[in-house]
Chains A and B, each alone.
Chain A
Amino acid sequence: MSTAADVARLDGARNRPGRTAVWIRPERVKELSLLGVIVVALLVFGFLVDDYFSGRFFNRVTTSVAITAVLAVAQTMVIVTRNIDLSVGSIVGVTAYLTGQFASSNPSTSPAVAIAIAVGLGALLGAINGVIVAYGRVPAIITTLGTLAIYRSWLISHGEGRTITADSLPSWVVDLPTRTVFTIGGLDIRVVFAVVIVVVAVLQIAMQRLRWGRRLYAIGSNPEAAAQAGLPTRRLVLGAFIACGALSGFAGFLFLSRFGNITVVAGQGLELDSVAAAVVGGVSVLGGSGTLVGAFLGAVLIDVLDQSLVRVPQVSEFWRNAILGALILAAVIADVVVGRRFRRRWSAEARPHTKVDSSTDAPDTTKVPALTAPEQGGEAGDA
């Protein structure tokens, strides 16, 4: 029976007309619909605001989105393993402050050294999180809630209320946000934005193609099964936290160059922004599903709304959070309601294939587990 169905399906696939049907896969619907929402948002604001589509607006969005986009991607790498990192805001604060301190006392600091310090420090802080979570078996939400407080309080006592000022920094740091790679049609593509795009693209490919990336998804889909299959789950989770920390450190560097003046509370609250961007971007907090591109688009959407609402005369700035909250809710509900219908059809079509796929480490395709509730009993057993 199943072989006959297989053959029929394969034939069907071969006879399928364009490549579109293959290209629009369930996991891509999220990104595509998100892209659609961004376009709709831009059009709506274009109607409401005079002179909306300007080079300055583009610059403002691309400059400010860089930080949250990096953090959203960092957060996603941890979330797909069914963990969470609430300490990213504190990591941004610590790395921005310490990198700034180093750069202001060594005016000859080169860009490479400054970035290396920020990324290295971030990776170190991420490694602390990862070791406690993976080897100490402390739930990630508890660990990072703790380190959120610990990193921040260390920074506050280290900084003693001093502020890193923009004029004490090497001039290249402060000039970085306005540096432009090239200009197309009056739109400046800023260096920072270009770098972020490259980082997101490279990491997306790594998550999608490399065994390491696929294994992160496998762990998030089903930790027990991943362990049974012999994956080094602890090392992989540690790796995800280190990657998240390193990216947060990079975001800390971007934070430093964007604002110049860094206080000890720098980056406070960014952890929730990063989770929000990832969630709007279709990343399931239950792990195992969601892409970095999605998280990036989620960050872009939130930032576009953020930057646009200020300019709509009918809406006061005080509406910002209410709209953002409603948006997050709408995004996840739409994902469940619409996504469930789509995915059911797709998974019915592709069942013979998923059987093979899901036993190896390629779980992202047409699986359903992201929709079903996690089995909480498993973890609760030894708590």
Chain B
Amino acid sequence: MPEALRERSWELLLAVILVGTIVYNATQSPVYLDVDNFVNLFRLSIEKVIVAVAMTFVIINGEIDLSVASVMAFAACVLAAAHESGVPFGLAIAIALAAAASAGFVQGLVVARTGISSLVVTLAGLIGFRGAARILLEDRSVGEFPDWFGDLGRADFLGPMPFALVLFLVMLVVGGVILHRSSFGRRVYVIGNNADVARFSGIDVARVKLVLFTASGLVAGLAGVLFAARLGSVRANIGEGFELDIITMVLLGGVSIFGGSGTLLGVALAICIVLNLRNGLGLANVEANTQTGVIGALLIVSVLAQNLLDRLPLRRREVEAEA
């Protein structure tokens, strides 16, 4: 009974924070509760949010992918370079997505085969794929994409929602089903809890990791392409530093950095909190950098609070286990 409560307590805490944020924001600004404002707050960070879904899988698996922002830029630059050299645009998008997926695949292969910490491998990826993006576009800015591509990024797709937001919601549902209702999802958790035990239980650990890193690369590529559509032009330095924001969202969602625990629901709540908090602080004329500081503090305090909350029940459980 306390176990079940403990399992959900994090999401509960996040929900309380979210409601608090929304209520506070609503009292601060009359335009806050507008549907357009809600859609807009997603619109401006939609790329990060999409990548956060894939990152959730990777971190629950006990790994990390620092390269996502660079792979985003890499995919966008591949798209731009292909477009520039006269490749049909649909094909250019396919090439960009394939490039991003292979970027993830290569990193996954190194992690799965050599057992080198993914922190290191994807740090190399962070630097290397940003470099690849730079080689492709140097310091130029490439734009003049087809109109329909610009519409994909900016126009309303379903009701007031742009395509990327619809995609995010679909990914959230599909991802939730895979993570929480499929055997693959269970394997992701088991490996994250204890990779050795997983291996001895006959799980193909290397294959799961390979799939996750490839998926992470592909999703980052998708986000990069959508980012290009929204911005209307691409430079090699787009999305620099996004990885930290994305990881912050996932960790705030209660996903353990050591793997094996966390839910997509928690991450979805954390995403809403971060976006609403930024939006609310923005409406209250708090500068963007202070917002970042507040979110940093929230990240630390949330884990700190969790540790304090955990202390009592944990001790009791240990005593019971010994008895």
Contacts and interface: CB of A to CB of B under 8 A. Distances in A.
Interface stretch (B163-171, B193-201, B227-235): B193-201
B127 A325 contact: yes
Contacts of A145: 244, 247-248, 251, 296, 299
A332 B294 CA distance: 36
Interface string A352-383: 00000000000000000001010111011011
Interface stretch (B46-54, B110-118, B218-226): B110-118
A157 B130 contact: no
Nearest to B318: A382
Contacts of A333: 110, 114, 116
A48 B291 CA distance: 48
Given A321-B134, A325-B126, A382-B310, A150 B289 contact: no
A242 to B, nearest CB: 18
Contacts of A275: 123
Interface string A321-346: 11111101100110011000000000
Given A146-B297, A322-B135, A337 B303 contact: no
B131 A138 contact: no
B257 A139 contact: yes
Contacts of A143: 300
A114 interface: no
Given A324-B127, A336-B116, A376-B260, A316 B138 contact: yes
A272 B70 CA distance: 13
A329 B125 CA distance: 8
A141 B257 contact: yes
B45 interface: no
B123 A272 contact: yes
Q: How large is the interface on B (under 10, 10 to 19, 20 to 34, 35 or more residues)?
A: 35 or more
B182 interface: no
A152 B119 contact: no
A321 B131 contact: yes
B169 to A, nearest CB: 27
B127 A276 contact: yes
Interface in B221-268: 236, 244, 247-248, 251, 256-261
Contacts of B314: 382
Q: Is the interface of B mostly helix, strand, loop or mixed?
A: helix
A276 B131 CA distance: 15
B295 interface: yes
Interface in A251-300: 272, 275-276, 279, 284-286
B237 to A, nearest CB: 11
Interface string B285-296: 001011111111
A383 B261 contact: yes
A376 B195 CA distance: 8
A56 interface: no
Given A152-B292, A328-B123, A377-B197, A142 B299 contact: yes
Interface in A74-92: 84, 86
B296 A150 contact: yes
Interface in B93-132: 110, 114-117, 119-121, 123-132
Nearest to B205: A373
Contacts of B193: 376-377, 380
B192 interface: yes
B135 A318 contact: yes
B28 interface: no
A149 interface: yes
A137 interface: yes
Nearest to B259: A376
Contact of A375 (B116, B121, B194): B194
Contacts of B293: 149-150, 152-154, 157
A371 B252 CA distance: 30
A157 B285 CA distance: 13
B304 interface: yes
A157 B287 contact: yes
A138 B123 CA distance: 22
Given A150-B296, A328-B128, 19 more contacts: A139-B258, A141-B257, A147-B300, A150-B293, A152-B293, A153-B292, A153-B296, A275-B123, A276-B123, A322-B128, A324-B131, A328-B123, A329-B110, A329-B124, A373-B195, A375-B194, A380-B260, A383-B258, A383-B260
6 contacts: A136-B303, A279-B123, A319-B135, A322-B128, A322-B134, A382-B314
Interface of A: 84, 86, 132, 136-139, 141-143, 145-150, 152-154, 156-157, 272, 275-276, 279, 284-286, 316, 318-326, 328-329, 332-333, 336-337, 371, 373, 375-377, 379-380, 382-383
